[in-house]
Structure 1
């Protein structure tokens, strides 16, 4: 049996996983995009902080489209992949995928959104610094 090359799969490393519950909904009972963006930013910061060995901050989020809604009861999986490391910046691709909590662990994931987060390394005073100590 051969696998199809066009079946989408998450890129990068699973960085954050959380169930979408009623406490995450807006006044209409929907999971808002802002909650997802917050999770994406948190995952990007964790990934960037590991690379920079310290404090980082988001300076840009590039290109984001939402492909499907997130329902209460979905398992939200955030994947990150470092794309580029500059002198003081780190570009990280972030993808959000969901699976129903009722489904088995091997159930299909569905892509919700993706974006490129641009992070900068900061020193203890909040000033931009080099990502690497030898940079």
Structure 2
């Protein structure tokens, strides 16, 4: 899939209550949006409930400003027996969509859960696209 064809898992605009003392959006708010998007992708891939177990890598590249429209992109990067690594990228649109800036990226690990909230196996066959 090319960059022009990929679609965001989540699009959201932060509000005034999401600003820190520096006038930028709280890192925790951004992390939450990333976790939501990654959870959607991991749940679809595992065909059931999942839980975040680790954030293996995360980098804040640029701040997010009030009124930025952020798009959160996610894809499964690796699949283990019970876990999945989901790569996340967040792009902010500024200036009424005229400017796009990569603001953060990360790798989140999820474990698939059974009905008793215990780890379960993930189907190893790649999904049909």
Query: Which residue, out of 108, 116, 122, partners 1:125?
Result: 116
Looking at structure 2, the residues matched to 123 and 111 of structure 1 have their Cα atoms a distance apart, in angstroms, of 35
How far did residue 11 of structure 1 move?
A: 9.8
Structure 2: runs of 5 or more not aligned:
none
Aligned 8 A contact 1:11 1:81 in 2: no
Distance 2:66 2:99 in 1: 17
- TM-score, length of structure 1 as denominator length: 0.82
Find the counterpart in structure 1 of residue 96 from structure 2: 103
The ranges of structure 1 where at least 4 consecutive aligned residues each deviate by more than 6 angstroms after the TM superposition are none
Task: Give the equivalent residue in structure 1 for 2:9.
Answer: 15
Aligned counterparts of 2:114 and 2:104: Cα–Cα separation in 1: 31
Paired with 2:60 and 2:5, the residues of 1 have a C-alpha distance of 17
2:64 counterpart (50, 61, 70): 70
Structure of greater Rg: 1
Question: Structure 2-normalised TM-score?
Answer: 0.85
Q: Does 2:31 correspond to 1:40?
A: no
Q: How do 1:18-33 and structure 2 match up within 5 A?
A: 18-26=12-20, 29-33=23-27
In the comparison of the two structures, how many residue pairs are matched?
Answer: 123
Offset at residue 10 of structure 1 (A):
8.6
CA contact (8 A) 1:10 1:95 kept: no
The CA RMSD over aligned residues, in Å, is 2.2
